[in-house]
Amino acid sequence: MGELDGVRIGVTAERRADDLIAALTRAGAEVRHAPTITIVDLPDDPQLRDGTGEVLAAPVDFTAVTTGAGFRGWLSAAEGWGLRQPLLDAFSASRIFARGPKAVGALRGAGLREEFSAPGESNAELFGGLVDAGVAGARVAIQLHGTPLPEYTKLLTDAGASLVTVQPYRWHSPPDTKPVFSLIHDVLSGEVEAIAFTSAPAATNFLALATEYGRREELLAVLRRGDVVCACVGPVTAAPLEDAGVRTVQPERQRLGALVKLLVTRLGRQN
């Protein structure tokens, strides 16, 4: 008997969804997979190619890396274009700032060393660290995750920096929204005990698709009551839900395994 036997959990992730679903299933959960976003394939992304060329057009003073997966994906795409080594050379000549351990791991795996790593793995710390380092007149290359961060990049432009922003993976609504609408229906019908979120774009678009479905206010009412556990991998992921008045739970460590353990703790059956 698994600790989550009989517990129904919605999974909104596309990237690494198989790992999360497998872990929840091993614990006995009944998983309802409804990806709320789809990721643009990196090698075919003309915006990423153009952004890479812009980074290489002039020396970079600072490099900011927000996600390990995004950074590795960028280097992989650049390798296919014959630009991996020039990109690494540009980064190595700059002062490198990372958002946390995953970003640090990707940097070191590429033979690079960071000057700064945000202790709380937050964008606020990352961009605050850059401002504190003194970016006036500097050219800063920023690897963003799946969505722009204007509230943070503005801190740098206000401090006098010149920015080159690159999104190694961009997201859109999924080509088939029926599974998401079905998950929303199940939440409203009381058929789901929890929803797992692993990225801020997935949480944002979950609410946007609820609007498209015409059930946003009903959904928010249920989530705000706490009838369904909204489990988020970390504070950045939780922010769109918290901003909408939905309380979330988050593991101490921002990892998929920790998220699964949190769900087991909150919802596990005592055998």
Q: Domain of 198: which CATH number?
A: 3.40.50.10090
How much is the pTM? 0.69
Does one domain contain both 209 and 237?
yes
The reply to whether 210 falls in a domain is yes
Does one domain contain both 225 and 120?
no
Mean pLDDT of the chain: 92
Does one domain contain both 33 and 80?
no
The reply to whether 3 falls in a domain is no
Q: How many folded domains does the chain comprise?
A: 2
Does one domain contain both 58 and 138?
yes
39: pLDDT confidence band, cut at 50, 70 and 90?
A: confident
pLDDT at 172: 83
* End-of-domain residue from the set 108, 136, 169: 169
pLDDT at 270: 47
The reply to whether 164 falls in a domain is yes
pLDDT tens, 189-225?
Answer: 999 999 999 988 899 999 999 999 999 999 999 999 9
* End-of-domain residue from the set 139, 169, 199: 169
Does one domain contain both 22 and 60?
no
* End-of-domain residue from the set 103, 135, 169: 169
Instruction: Give residue 73's domain range.
Output: 42-169
Bridge partners, residue 14, by sequence? none
269: pLDDT confidence band, cut at 50, 70 and 90?
A: low
